[in-house]
Structure 1
Amino acid sequence: MLKFLVVKFLEMVARLFCRVDKNLVTLYFLNYSGCNLNPVLEAYEKGEIKDCKFKVIELPEKPFESLWKRLLFKWHMIEWTAKSKVIVTTHGGRRLRRKTVHIELWHSFPTKKAGLMDKRVQRYDSKPNIFCSYSDFGTVLRNACVGLSISLYVVTGAPRNDYLLTVNGKKNLEKLFGMSLEGKRVIIFAPTFRFGYEDFVEGNKSYDNFFGFKEFDIQKFLSFLEESNIVFFLKLHPNEEWLFVDHFKRFGSDRIKIIESAILKRERTDFYKLLNGADLLVTDYSSIYFDWLLLDRPVVFTPVDLKEYKETRGGWLLDYDFWAAGPKCVDQDSLQKEVKKSLEDPNYYRPERQLVVKLVHQYRDANSTNRVLELIQKALRGERLV
């Protein structure tokens, strides 16, 4: 209750003493792990959007160590929100004035129950002016979780997906890790998180090995990578990377690399600038898979704790077995077998992938960033957005 009252007092102070800058756009930026704000910011830095100024508020990836630091950062956010003509977010937020326009890009395609559909919280407090969506189908799924007026949605596609269709991910991986990938096959494993959302634990995956398999032989896996000429990249979810990255570093080798958030931040390189450098994606329940579909490349799933994840997370908006268009593996032998088959046969599960991509992506071009920039410019000019 005290925290609530303090925040309300800070908001009142900001409304009284912070004047709105009609040219100010504030971006609430979280990380370089596939952030939809990165392409927008790059476009601004290249001069593709004019007559405005951008302010970037970098959100913390880990909890603050003290209450005082948390309050200082909260005031920092409130101050710039009160000053802004437009705010753009990817993880919710709220405007403080009616004249401020809030554009929500979000950070994933809606697959899991969240917000109003999540029995653990059953709420969604953010009320943006515009909610950007992947498709009409995606809008229906998203609105089940957030309960907004359907008129607030605009289908733009996700700006980060422009990277998938334009950059050379393999060259970016080579540059980031100082290695040659010429003639090599590349696999990226990008699992979702089990820890890091509120105080919940989702599923019961073991972290003894990358995949959570009950039995795993690292030497056998390294031999498989060597024989198949594969370089394996692990990208942990930022919610729990800080908990487990040091544990997995002990497996590092010429064939196993870890894509760390700290490295991406240092190099100002978004993970999606690396993603299309892979020949195959491995994931469990991460919605990164739906973006990957734009590349029409194989994907292998590792649903090791499917039953427990459903029970603790609350389930899916979509049927997992149908929408996960690729082989499912819960042990090392089947994973290695399916990876090999998927790399050798480009048509393996292709019809299933092509069905899903048509439903998920209304646009399959590299112009999602431009559509979002157009919305921002309209908001700055005070024009009707939809």
Structure 2
Amino acid sequence: MKKAILRVFFKPLTIINRIKKKDEKLIFFYSNLGFRDNVKAFYDYLIENNYNEQFKIVVSINDWEQYVKRAPKNVTFINNKQGIKWFMKAKYAFYCFGKYPIKPSKKQTVINLWHGTPLKRIGHLEKGCENIDYDFFSKVLTSAPMYKPIMADIFGCTENRVEVMGNPRNDEMFKKDRIKDDYIKGGAGKLILWLPTYREYDEGFIISILNKDELNSLNTYLMDNNIKMIVKLHPLQTADTQGIELSHIKFITQDELNRSDMTVYTLLRNADGLITDYSSVYFDYMLLNRPIGFAVEDMEKYKNKRGFIFDNPKEYMPGPEIRNLSDIEEFIENIVSGNDLYKEARESVNDKINYYKDGNCCKRIAETFIK
């Protein structure tokens, strides 16, 4: 009901947006789920390359108050209500979480950066969402030519409006920061990163394949072998990890990363191996060509509840299935010994999923769309 009311409210704004004059020197960013991911990565690139010397940049985000006092020159942080008028002024606009349901003017360039290369069904491919209008952009970006028809179907647009550019957030995996990197590793010989995705049917999900005793056993194994494990919780998860104190397994939240001025991609570039499930983040991690394990014991349930883009998603999961403590230890032992059993399969999938295998996504996007 609320969304229906909002659509009625925003409908006249599309008309106003079409006739409103655009500021050729105004770049606008929007997010309703925190200042992070592709929006933040692309914003950071523009600041690092002094785009704010030539352009005014307005960032409309739900957590805007955290950034107001440290805004760079010609950058303004505002809330999403105030952002409406700035969006309609802007020549250039970028979003990846949420959007204003206002159709772009022909005088605007509105880019849907999205937040990853999908594995699970989203948009028009998700049951019950077939008739929702998602088309509020000039272009939507993706990571490979095979995804052009998929993204067109998801968002209800033509394929010529899907551009293969890669994900801006992936550029961070090709950078180095000695202070942050040393802090993350914490002196460990190897680092294993575990990234569980969000499950609508189990918001408290963390590591369902391990009970408390097995978690303690895993911690002992990691301690004996000088290995650190970080479990990064999904931003929408409600799991409570307070009271879980382990020497070599650390649970962290998105808020903790934000406070440390780090992202998931800071963690990924330092990880010697990744354990995940249905999160598209593993498509990103394949760019580093390191081992990936898949904890997908509830695949049938997830398939029935949410569904996948591909008929057989396991064809796009080049790594061992992680079902129990023994599988975890075997996965880690192979990493330590350099026994990379899935290297060729991973490279084959990576060629399909990631057309560009560099750290220049932001550069491509800026040079293509900001004139």
**Do Structure 1 and Structure 2 share a fold, with TM-score over 0.5?**
yes
Whole-angstrom distance in 2 between the partners of 1:368 and 1:2? 36
Post-superposition CA distance 1:166-220 (Å, at most 9, x none): 224x742544x6xx6335210110111013xxxxx3xx5974xx32116452221
Whole-angstrom distance in 2 between the partners of 1:6 and 1:137? 34
C-alpha RMSD of matched pairs (Å): 2.8
What are the within-5 Å matches in structure 2 for residues 147-186 of structure 1?
147-168=156-177, 171-175=179-183, 181-186=186-191
Q: Secondary structure at the match of 1:75?
A: coil
Post-superposition CA distance 1:19-76 (Å, at most 9, x none): 643311111134366x112232122222443521111111369xxxxxxxxxx96532
The residue aligned with 2:258 is 265
User: TM-score, structure 2 length as denominator?
Assistant: 0.85
Say if 2:60 is the partner of 1:57: yes
Q: Secondary structure at the match of 1:273?
A: helix
Give the 3 Å change call, closer, same or farther, for CA 265–219 of structure 1 in structure 2.
closer
Whole-angstrom distance in 1 between the partners of 2:309 and 2:258? 32
The residue aligned with 1:142 is 151
The residue aligned with 1:112 is 120
For 1:51, the aligned partner's letter is: Q
* 8 A contact 2:274–2:292 mirrored in 1: yes
The residue aligned with 2:248 is 255
* 8 A contact 1:26–1:81 mirrored in 2: yes
Q: Secondary structure at the match of 1:276?
A: helix
Q: Secondary structure at the match of 1:161?
A: helix
Give the 3 Å change call, closer, same or farther, for CA 183–4 of structure 1 in structure 2.
closer
Q: Select the residue among 186, 193, 196 that pairs with 1:188.
A: 193
Give the 3 Å change call, closer, same or farther, for CA 337–347 of structure 1 in structure 2.
closer
The residue aligned with 1:362 is 355
Post-superposition CA distance 1:112-143 (Å, at most 9, x none): 11111111322342331111111101223222
Give the 3 Å change call, closer, same or farther, for CA 124–341 of structure 1 in structure 2.
farther
Whole-angstrom distance in 2 between the partners of 1:102 and 1:22? 13
* 8 A contact 1:92–1:106 mirrored in 2: no
Gapped regions of structure 2 (runs ≥ 5): 65-77
Gapped regions of structure 1 (runs ≥ 5): 62-71, 196-200, 379-386
User: TM-score, structure 1 length as denominator?
Assistant: 0.82
* 8 A contact 1:112–1:318 mirrored in 2: no
Whole-angstrom distance in 2 between the partners of 1:369 and 1:298? 26
The residue aligned with 2:27 is 25
The residue aligned with 1:287 is 280
Q: CA deviation at 1:2?
A: 7.3
- Provide the identity percentage: 23
Give the 3 Å change call, closer, same or farther, for CA 39–60 of structure 1 in structure 2.
closer
Higher RCO (Cα < 8 Å, 6 or more apart): 1
* 8 A contact 2:143–2:354 mirrored in 1: yes
Say if 2:223 is the partner of 1:221: no
Q: Select the residue among 76, 90, 96 that pairs with 1:90.
A: 96
Q: Secondary structure at the match of 1:36?
A: helix
Q: Select the residue among 213, 227, 231 that pairs with 1:230.
A: 227
* 8 A contact 2:94–2:112 mirrored in 1: yes
